[in-house]
Structure 1
């Protein structure tokens, strides 16, 4: 990638977006030609293209569409010390770790040095886009809560780390301070601290010290931002003490954090401590974000897909006054695109594909997205279509080919094409491809589960209760097996200061609403075939899903990339959840089913 394009700012950055999207098909063709030129002689591609010209037609006729299981042996060989030329014509400099919460264990993705340039190019587009709608962002600070993960090494010595940790440790991130739009409250040392609690403490403390200068709030995922609010609820007294005395708590032992915070806690500030104490000591935290950071203009975090679950909680803590902004669509495998209308409602967020990130293909899933293909199902080589031939309204599974050596790799994301910006498609993220629940012939995916839970949780609202988080698993320990949902419910105080206890009838009704909202096959299995038992909701004690997050973090997940798994596959995680159950509720009858 042309290095000077990393410097695009403001109007120049917006012009570059227009140029790329106006020439998307040609850009994509050039990208694939360049990838084949560089990687055509690799062991992987030679296996399929030997004797063929390394052109686009040969690539599509001979190279298979693959999953991680197909490419994993090559990645593992490079991790063990074999040459990068197994997959890439450029040196593989690191392995990027996926979160592991979707697939059960982290995946390793090869990355080359110039991948950082592509990611930085995309990051540099974000502020010019947002600044069209929210001007003046260079006049204050951003309280973004970012977290680095401790690095591991492959047997050959390659760094193995999450994609965001890679970026935070790069020169591109360190040089961001030259840009007035990138004035963060969090010092780099706090972001790079691998002790998540100490990092969180120092970042929140920095944000509180600068509370009257903060214009933007955010984290990568909504789940991480809500974890910060929960952390603040438990630690605000200690944070106020630090501000009052001008001394950092002795519980912070990381030397980098202590050094950085000495420049922020320069002197005692009892007045600021009293302001924060007055706000945080209130029983109701509705609107707490606007009270603590009164100049904040929006919250930036991913709230699409499975993160949509957190929208009600974010709206509660901001009293609905702060827009929720999703800026970009990315993964460990590749970065994909940007949201050109950042203030759009979360339910309407679309991402415009940037055709210079990688080569993109799309596996058609029909007009309703129900034809989602299993990971094990082989995809015919001629089935994926290129960017220029997707149809508005249709659903697809995303496939990428990268410079680092992923060839026709199934990302696992189901997207819907909502339109085009110039010649580049705009995508709505729907869900991960994998089926999350199945007992018999029923196949319930992430979106179906989310939609059914969204309908059911509305029954809680009249009782001043909020579904904080949920997950599920298919219990086959008895016959017939049945779906189990773990729900953590937060009770809010009523006008008289008390809370309304949830009764069995209400939770049974929730079970029924979930079942009625699931698809035809599930309802047939429940009602006619009797091959699936009554759906169960297990209500867990407060703090359970934070404990679940801690469990995954201790096992290698990153706060930045953590997403609550919508189906539990880990026996230890399931054991943790079961240990927190306070009550059990079942559907009292079968759902409606008409042959």
Structure 2
């Protein structure tokens, strides 16, 4: 656990970060000892340890597990059995994951103590930004957060997303910090109507535009949704500012009360200025133009979010894009100690106080060989990882997870003091496969990144994408759904067929030799297809997943879609189709060198 610290004292925060990244082994050993000694009496640990709580017994007797292994215990707690099945402290919340990576949300146990730790880490990190970004401390933040629907289990335990848990667990201390650092009142962010909340957060941000130094959202995709919302609603926002009167459809009491502190009188001068910027032919640099004192955009841009980097750069006008923290519903794991690095170079430093971290080495060819990495590798401690190697994190937490596989793939890039630094590679799960081919999320993202470069000379941008396998008729083939946008406002989206066909081929050429062999020699894989969908199609897809319990703040477009209802949404929005007209090349030596 993190030691107590004063979040208003930047020097103390920076000193603590130095301490925890220096004394890594000691902290990790003490974290494991604390977790085991606290929870030794739980049904789960008793079944494996028989009262032995030393590290050696833990590693020898406790299995490495996945969510499906622990789900029966979580279900029992949700149905009314006591939390001490897995944890000595009461489970106050069951966190629901985004549900878009694997299709079905997981329920992750969380204690109040653990939640406080996660909130504390965000406060601890803030002075690091102040240290690296000159002048940002004297401004406030326009960071867009949204609550999502919540429910209760049969036993009365709250089921929430992580963002909702944080927003609804504000103490007097954290409320003071919020008011000191955010331009938008806390009440607006906790409004249950995300449309009203987004509108009022934007209105607050524009009214206080000269005091905004940081903008952002939990994920890059969320921030881009806000920009799209601004693009659709700026005339109405300008009308509110010009008249000093809030739109009648804003009826939520929290929003009305929150905005009333700032929308106090007509301001036609500001309205005209915003109108002038938003009316321009291109929205390139719109963020910097609307918020002239902004220094950076904060949003996760690693993993599946990396594809949004070009869009962020287009709208930001050269502002630094900072990917701050790395974590999941299971645990907050690391922080970016070099916030000014390029988004593509982000490495996260593991914070050893947040849980006990082990790592399962992942062969870079494990998906091609078909072997489970558990058959070939032991689990190593945090201090024993090696630079250049790929690992899957294995977590043991204070909230009742023991040797739990997260499913991410991380690559060790170096060390900060004695704490390893990791680059987020992607999810370990294969997202597309027809025959012997197994295309991972990382493979797919790299291929699409190469292809979308072909759009730039035509002032086109790839706004979002997903994929699926079309298995009928034989041979099956990959299908990618692309939503395109133009750099020129109100321009017609009529992509040149030759360009999109070349995009199809470029994706195929970028995939691994097993795929390319299946296309060329074996003829077991058909030509890759891109289906262009109408603007707004991915908003419909997001709304579908949010309606099923996902969170707007945590939503990530799934890189592969299998849900039939979601596929119907995409297919209903298809406006044009393109196939790869050439066959990708491959050489025999490539096939063997990839294994």
TM-score range (shorter-chain normalised) is over 0.9
Asked if 2 retains the 8 angstrom alpha-carbon contact of 1:80 and 1:156, the reply is: yes
Asked if 1 retains the 8 angstrom alpha-carbon contact of 2:410 and 2:422, the reply is: yes
1:103 matched to which residue of 2? 102
User: Any idea what the Cα deviations from partners look like across 1:485-518, whole Å, max 9, x if unmatched?
Assistant: 0011112339xx9668322211111111000110
2:592 matched to which residue of 1? none
Distance 1:302 1:382 in 2: 30
Q: Quote the offset at 1:352 in angstroms.
A: 0.5
Asked if 1 retains the 8 angstrom alpha-carbon contact of 2:13 and 2:125, the reply is: no
Q: Quote the offset at 1:411 in angstroms.
A: 0.6
1:364 and 2:361 correspond: yes
Q: Quote the offset at 1:136 in angstroms.
A: 2.7
1:252 matched to which residue of 2? 250
1:226 and 2:234 correspond: no
1:171 and 2:164 correspond: no
- Residues 374 and 125 of structure 1: CA distance in aligned 2, closer, same or farther (over 3 Å): farther
1:476 and 2:471 correspond: yes
2:337 matched to which residue of 1? 340
- Displacement over 2 Å in runs of 4+: 1-9, 135-138, 174-183, 369-382, 491-494, 497-501
Distance 1:381 1:39 in 2: 30
Distance 2:115 2:53 in 1: 26
Distance 1:277 1:235 in 2: 11
Asked if 2 retains the 8 angstrom alpha-carbon contact of 1:374 and 1:434, the reply is: no
2:574 matched to which residue of 1? 581
Asked if 2 retains the 8 angstrom alpha-carbon contact of 1:507 and 1:537, the reply is: yes
- Residues 331 and 282 of structure 1: CA distance in aligned 2, closer, same or farther (over 3 Å): same
Distance 1:433 1:206 in 2: 40
Q: Quote the offset at 1:374 in angstroms.
A: 11
1:119 and 2:118 correspond: yes
Tell me which of 482, 499, 507 is aligned to 2:500: 507
1:438 and 2:437 correspond: no
2:591 matched to which residue of 1? none
Asked if 2 retains the 8 angstrom alpha-carbon contact of 1:217 and 1:299, the reply is: yes
Distance 2:337 2:578 in 1: 44
Q: Quote the offset at 1:380 in angstroms.
A: 5.6
Asked if 1 retains the 8 angstrom alpha-carbon contact of 2:532 and 2:574, the reply is: yes
Asked if 1 retains the 8 angstrom alpha-carbon contact of 2:103 and 2:563, the reply is: yes
1:401 matched to which residue of 2? 396
Tell me which of 352, 374, 393 is aligned to 1:355: 352
Asked if 2 retains the 8 angstrom alpha-carbon contact of 1:97 and 1:160, the reply is: yes
Asked if 2 retains the 8 angstrom alpha-carbon contact of 1:177 and 1:183, the reply is: no
1:303 matched to which residue of 2? 301
Alignment of 1:35-114 (within 5 A): 35-50=35-50, 53-114=52-113
Greater shift after overlay, 351-360 or 147-156? Answer: 147-156
2:558 matched to which residue of 1? 565
Asked if 1 retains the 8 angstrom alpha-carbon contact of 2:22 and 2:418, the reply is: yes
1:530 and 2:530 correspond: no
User: Any idea what the Cα deviations from partners look like across 1:109-156, whole Å, max 9, x if unmatched?
Assistant: 001111122112211122211111113323222111111112211111
Distance 2:201 2:439 in 1: 39
- Residues 346 and 16 of structure 1: CA distance in aligned 2, closer, same or farther (over 3 Å): same
Tell me which of 319, 323, 344 is aligned to 1:322: 319
Distance 2:96 2:353 in 1: 23
User: Any idea what the Cα deviations from partners look like across 1:211-243, whole Å, max 9, x if unmatched?
Assistant: 111111111101011000100111111111111
Consecutive unaligned residues of structure 1, counting only runs of 5 or more, are none
Q: Secondary structure of the equivalent of 2:209?
A: coil
Q: Secondary structure of the equivalent of 1:450?
A: helix
Asked if 2 retains the 8 angstrom alpha-carbon contact of 1:138 and 1:181, the reply is: no
Distance 2:160 2:177 in 1: 27
1:136 matched to which residue of 2? 135
Q: Quote the offset at 1:9 in angstroms.
A: 3.0
Asked if 2 retains the 8 angstrom alpha-carbon contact of 1:537 and 1:584, the reply is: yes
1:290 matched to which residue of 2? 288
Aligned residues: 588
Structure 2 length as normaliser, TM-score? 0.95
Distance 1:575 1:202 in 2: 33
Consecutive unaligned residues of structure 2, counting only runs of 5 or more, are 589-595
Q: Secondary structure of the equivalent of 1:415?
A: strand
1:448 matched to which residue of 2? 443
User: Any idea what the Cα deviations from partners look like across 1:153-188, whole Å, max 9, x if unmatched?
Assistant: 11111010011111111134x533534894212111
User: Any idea what the Cα deviations from partners look like across 1:40-74, whole Å, max 9, x if unmatched?
Assistant: 22111111112x62211111111111111111110
Greater shift after overlay, 292-301 or 548-557? Answer: 548-557
Tell me which of 482, 486, 492 is aligned to 1:487: 482
Q: Secondary structure of the equivalent of 2:366?
A: coil
Structure 1 length as normaliser, TM-score? 0.95
Distance 2:9 2:82 in 1: 37
2:593 matched to which residue of 1? none
Asked if 2 retains the 8 angstrom alpha-carbon contact of 1:464 and 1:500, the reply is: no
Distance 1:19 1:493 in 2: 50
Distance 1:236 1:83 in 2: 51
Q: Secondary structure of the equivalent of 2:503?
A: helix
- Residues 134 and 378 of structure 1: CA distance in aligned 2, closer, same or farther (over 3 Å): closer
- Residues 375 and 567 of structure 1: CA distance in aligned 2, closer, same or farther (over 3 Å): farther
Distance 1:457 1:3 in 2: 46
2:416 matched to which residue of 1? 421
1:185 matched to which residue of 2? 183
Q: Quote the offset at 1:103 in angstroms.
A: 1.0
Distance 2:213 2:441 in 1: 34
Distance 1:306 1:502 in 2: 25
Q: Secondary structure of the equivalent of 2:4?
A: helix
Distance 2:540 2:289 in 1: 28
Q: Quote the offset at 1:23 in angstroms.
A: 0.8
1:5 and 2:2 correspond: no
2:25 matched to which residue of 1? 25
User: Any idea what the Cα deviations from partners look like across 1:226-274, whole Å, max 9, x if unmatched?
Assistant: 0001001111111111111111111112111111111221111111111
Q: Secondary structure of the equivalent of 1:583?
A: strand
Q: Over the residues paired in the alignment, what is the CA RMSD in angstroms? A: 1.9
Distance 2:523 2:167 in 1: 53
Q: Secondary structure of the equivalent of 2:582?
A: coil
Distance 1:348 1:259 in 2: 42
Q: Quote the offset at 1:2 in angstroms.
A: 6.4
Q: Secondary structure of the equivalent of 1:523?
A: helix
